[in-house]
Amino acid sequence: MSSKIGKLIKARRKAKGLGLRELARRIGKSPAYLVSLEREDQSPGTSDDTLQSLATELELDSDILHAAVERTPEKSAPKSSTQVALYRLIGALPQDRQIELKKQLEAELHKHKHVHGNNTTKLENRDGGKSAST
């Protein structure tokens, strides 16, 4: 039986008409690695870079692959108590409400970038800590 990520990668690879060897070549991994990723109950270790490469080649949002391996990308890991609390609180909501909040936050970030340009700015958290750059 395949892992969650294995099933996802295999289905998407086949839907795109990509052979296993070709996808392995594109992401810089061996075909044996992809075979084990697609077929094993427990997927082999996957780095953030490998997940991003797979997402790019399979035209998937990398968040989908990170969720499939149940891991938060290093760059997205909470860095303050406010971010941890938001993660916990949002996780407790029904999925449809999570999707609504995601859309609202994306719109807010887009608006913020439009107003402030592409400059990275630090945003203050309620607990006084600094968040990651936006």
Q: What is the CATH number of the domain that holds 14?
A: 1.10.260.40
Structure-derived torsion over alpha carbons of residues 100, 105, 107, 110, reported in degrees to the nearest 10: -160
Report the alpha-carbon distance of residue 84 to residue 114 in Å, rounded.
Answer: 27
| Beta-bridge partner residues of 130 | 124
Structure tokens at 2: 């395949």
Residues 22 and 35 in one domain: yes
Q: Looking at the 3D structure of the chain, how many domains does it have?
A: 2
Span 63-79, mean pLDDT?
86
Residues 71 and 83 in one domain: no
Tell me which residue range forms the domain holding 13.
Answer: 4-75
- Percentage of the chain surpassing pLDDT 90? 51
For residue range 27-56, list pLDDT tens digits in order: 999 999 999 888 876 666 788 899 999 999
For residue range 76-111, list pLDDT tens digits in order: 888 899 999 998 999 999 999 999 999 999 999 988
Contact partners, residue 20, CB within 8 Å, separation at least 6: 13, 31, 34, 35, 38
118 vs 65 pLDDT, higher one: 65
Amino acid letter for position 84: V
